[in-house]
A and B are shown apart, each in its own frame.
Chain A
Amino acid sequence: MIVVKVGGSTGIDYDALCEDVAALWREGQRLVLVHGGSAETNRVAEALGHPPKFVTSPSGYTSRFTDRETLEIFEMVYCGKQNKGLVERLQRLGVNAVGLSGLDGRLFEGKHKDKVRSVEGGKVKVLRGDHTGTVERVNTGLLTLLLESGYLPVLTPPGVSFEGVAINVDGDRAAAAVAVALQAEALLLLSNVPGLLRDFPDEASLIPEIPAGEVESYLGFARDRMKKKVLGAAEAVQGGVKRVVFGDARVRQPVRAALSGRGTVVR
């Protein structure tokens, strides 16, 4: 079993990804696909007159501030356009994909955090009304049911709080939680960079390998969204996933490339 997470940044070749996923699936490789949709969400939010607001935590993590209206736009794009776009591509390629959000069947369950700390103009502030959380429980029963019945699960945030409220959860860490829950042999985190770069954005500075026990010590090389990927990788290897690869989703056969070790391999 492998878990493939594909980001939502610009430049990602979803057709190439789906062709690769479909070919592997037909060869008998069981997998779960998790996806994002951040760039398209930003575009739609702008078009709807509700531009995205990003906040930076005191320790340097940048995240979307998800008020209720933002959450609804997020759902339109992630659960609607992006999820169904991938399911349609896979169906066209003969793979019986089933698209679900973390809300469906309580696939991604976690605690609702309604306040975040944000650094603005040198001040640390508490912002309330956020709809975010972290995946603490994965409904493996539902995933196993689908996989054993021959369906390829295509999963996306948001998740659901223990009280049943939709929450924006980080897609990379949700994928890591799925990989741990299924005890996957590999977690592939594919985005629009070739891997973890020692000197971003210089692609020649790719870090090819990270020992599993030292992932968090590489956080300093990660910028913005990559920090969550490094954190997700650390959680995955701590949870028993043998191999995590930060791979490039802009190339042909991106899944095979990552499986063959192209990118940054954590093991």
Chain B
Amino acid sequence: MLQTIDTPYGTVEADPDTLELGEILVSDDGTELEVVSLDPLRLEPAPEEDEDWGE
């Protein structure tokens, strides 16, 4: 069920039961947040990553 999750970087609407480690969510203020822990749920700003990678 969708819940409102408050973070220091804005709020996120998400279903904690379907979240996965590493998943990126976008807060209402536009910050990209990475799921770094599921239990307890912890969201931190996602690392910036360009897509210029190897084969």
Instruction: Select one of A115, A128, A133 contacting B54, CB under 8 A.
Output: A133
B1-32, CB under 8 A of A: which get 1 and which 0? 00000000000000000001111100000000
- Flag whether A126 is at the interface (Cβ < 8 A): yes
CB of A157 within 8 A of CB of B55, answer yes
Do B20 and A134 touch (CB < 8 A)? no
Chain B residues contacting A126 (CB-CB under 8 Å) are 22, 24, 34, 46-47, 49
Chain B residues touching A, range? 10 to 19
Residue of B nearest to A8 (CB): B55
* Chain B residue with the shortest CB-CB distance to A57: B51
Interface residues of A, dominant DSSP: strand
A170, B55: Cβ atoms closer than 8 Å = yes
Judge whether B49 and A64 touch: CB under 8 Å: no
Query: Chain B's nearest CB lies how many Å from the CB of A222?
Result: 15
CB-CB < 8 A to B22: which residues of A? Answer: 125-128
**B24:A117 contact, CB within 8 angstroms:** yes
A261 to chain B, nearest CB (A): 27
A125 to B20, CA, bound (A): 8
> What residues of B have a CB within 8 angstroms of the CB of A192 in the complex?
none
A132 touches B49 (CB 8 A): no
Q: How large is the interface on A (under 10, 10 to 19, 20 to 34, 35 or more residues)?
A: 20 to 34
Q: Which residues of B contact A115 (CB under 8 A)?
A: 47, 49
Task: Give the nearest-CB partner of A159 in chain B.
Answer: B54
Chain B residues closer than 8 Å to A61, beta-carbon distance: 51, 53
**Cβ contacts A159-190/B at 8 Å (1 or 0 each):** 00000000111110000000000000000000
* Distance A126 CA – B24 CA, assembled complex (angstroms): 7
Structural contact, B53 and A130, CB atoms closer than 8 A: yes
* New A-B contacts (19) at CB < 8 Å, excluding given A63-B53, A169-B54, A170-B54: A36-B55, A59-B51, A64-B55, A113-B53, A115-B47, A116-B49, A117-B24, A117-B49, A117-B51, A123-B23, A124-B23, A125-B23, A126-B24, A126-B49, A130-B53, A133-B53, A157-B54, A168-B54, A225-B55
Contact sample, A vs B, 20 pairs, CB 8 Å cutoff: A36-B55, A38-B55, A58-B51, A61-B53, A63-B53, A113-B49, A113-B52, A113-B53, A115-B49, A125-B21, A125-B24, A128-B22, A130-B53, A132-B53, A134-B52, A134-B54, A157-B54, A168-B55, A169-B54, A228-B55
